[in-house]
Chain A
């Protein structure tokens, strides 16, 4: 339909990438934070220790803001498939649209239905029911992730379809094969762990900040601060190494089903055994060469095939018009891996300090943990760019080209809307992130608000809303 360098197509792609890139942060944050809140409330109910309720109250304020931003940025996505990729949605809608509908019905309503109770209902329903609401919201975020990654994975490794010769539409033939397509389990695990890790490093950095602040003032950090820091560092120590293994498994899966993506990620041009790993380089798509390459002998084969003799693909194995832009994903992939290694290192360091009993008394470590605040989200974004740009030039891998998927929008409309999206997103989500940072700057106190756990007030309502829903006028109105 349109050529690859058509400006309207490029704008459609950039607009989609920008809006989904902003969006992806918030659901990932919600997935990790909802699970953390469920753990905190569960621990509070089980142990009765007020510190867990303090932490719950502290983080639920963050959650309400993050979740709200996820909802509004996600609403955009559910219509943008049609506004920007109408040909794709007409052809693949019978499959991807149905998966998205399942996400709405099994996840979004569950989250929305119990969010109100979770945020405002602590003194309207019993403790058990409130905990159930928190768990429902958390499970909802996980179900949501499952469906959307199934849909995304189907675009990467399509299965269980036939193609209608008359219309070119994808017709579902086997729904189980569609949902559990070959890359789905690997992508699900990798993304889920990424969400948990991202939040762990945000929580850890918040704890570290407040410990550094207390130290400057010659005080001892409060119990909630120490508990959140400790919990976050346990997550880093346990989950970061698991994530490396999950990423490795995902890589093997990609090598099997999308070898061109692997070749572009590695900047390899010629298929070879005993392949080196490129630590650095600048892939040049025109000269078919990776300039300034720094090679680590045999490591490429070892990493990708778990054998020094293994054969790794090169981009020259594939026609020029089927190669993903290596000059993007070569770097995003390396940034992601480097951040992953850093996270593992922080986790190991925390174990060592914990063993020595110095976890709360090492300001250098706290400064490092503070700097690592965005590490999880940066790695997540880099990984997402790697897998999505690595899918190019296809929307449905090997079957439907991106240039044949785009909607017939005028370049002028696309330019105007792109500007509007950037202005609004920077203003709204920039302000939102600023407010989050300010909120996290407030130190969590022991027994916040001076209320006993038995009479926990409406968490947000009591703190910030001057007026609250009054149950006494309820009947007969």
Chain B
């Protein structure tokens, strides 16, 4: 029994991190495209941008619902602590995602009316604000939450620090980079060329963001510093910064050489490295600095029952998600054939 109650939370932590990573990557490029709307004024090109994600955005957002539900069912202690702690950024993010989500339909339904601008603006602002809030929440978790007796005991604005704002801006930059490189892959002509330019600048911005967050994190808590500097950890984690630099070089070259898929793959790689770096930093805490995974877990009977369902459903979900992407694969262009 001791073993089960040790390992089940570990397995669930891996699944949860995987679900969050999938969400960040998939909805990351959706939200990035929303932000890039601000740089592209041409309506035809905007339609192309939106049509690359229209059939899949809903499935992408579902990973966020899964994240919330898994936290609620498997780590209720974390769910019940994190959400009150980040009450404001969470509510603002949800409201922003409402504007983003309805804009797909509403901007078409209000086309050529004065309200079209409202929903186009809502798509841009909603995407940008949601991305910023997600970064702020991520930074807020890393910097730690005041907990007494297993419950949130801080103030309503504890999350608001220069570090969390830095993380918010970095995530905005990262999502925009994902969106730009996704469009490099999925579009053609002038739009693709524009996205290559944007991607270059965004890559520089994100790189600076990663360096700043990386330099700042060890200063937040002493254990974070030890995690990265003690032997033998240092041998395991040392490749992470090196890989970040290598991927940056590959990304810059692929953008110049006109490669279509490599830039997006590099951006994904950066996100993978950042998320695993954060995982290494925070482990084994679910709510740093006080609550570990095991402190916030639901009983093994809950975690096991949910694991059975996940083991059955996840391969099925991945299969039809991939199928859905395949149905809509390929370059998206402004087609005249349907008018």
Q: A: which residues have CB within 8 A of B?
A: 64-65, 67-69, 71-76, 78-79, 81-83, 86-87, 89-91, 93-106, 108-117, 119-121, 124-125, 164, 169, 171-173, 175, 407-410, 412-413, 416-417, 420-421, 424, 428, 431-432, 435, 438-439, 457-458, 461-462, 464-475, 477
Contact = CB atoms under 8 A, between A and B. Distances in A.
Contacts of A457: 338
B83 A125 contact: no
Most buried by A among B64, B74, B79, B261: B79
B313 A106 contact: yes
A420 B90 CA distance: 13
A101 B334 contact: no
Given A72-B102, A465-B51, A477-B185, A470 B306 contact: no
B80 A82 contact: yes
A109 B68 contact: no
B76 A93 contact: yes
Interface string B258-286: 00110000000000000000000000000
A86 B83 contact: yes
Q: Which 4 A-B pairs have the closest CB atoms?
A: A93-B76, A474-B330, A97-B73, A116-B55
Interface in B92-117: 92, 94-95, 97-102, 104-106, 108-111, 115
Contact of A465 (B47, B88, B333): B47
A234 to B, nearest CB: 30
B66 A105 contact: yes
A325 B186 CA distance: 57
A97 B81 CA distance: 15
A105 B309 contact: yes
Interface of B: 44, 47-48, 51-52, 54-56, 58-59, 61-62, 64-66, 68-74, 76-77, 79-84, 87-88, 90-92, 94-95, 97-102, 104-106, 108-111, 115, 150-153, 155-156, 185-186, 188, 260-261, 298-299, 301-302, 305-306, 309-310, 313-314, 317, 320-321, 323-324, 327-335, 338-339
Given A75-B65, A86-B83, A172-B301, A113 B102 contact: no
B335 A470 contact: yes
A426 to B, nearest CB: 12
A117 B327 contact: yes
A103 B151 CA distance: 27
A470 B90 contact: no
Nearest to B314: A105
A113 B72 contact: no
A302 to B, nearest CB: 43
A101 B76 CA distance: 12
Contact of B76 (A89, A103, A109, A435): A89
A86 B151 contact: yes
A94 B76 contact: yes
A171 B299 contact: yes
B155 to A, nearest CB: 8
Most buried by A among B70, B80, B305: B80
Contacts of B260: 477
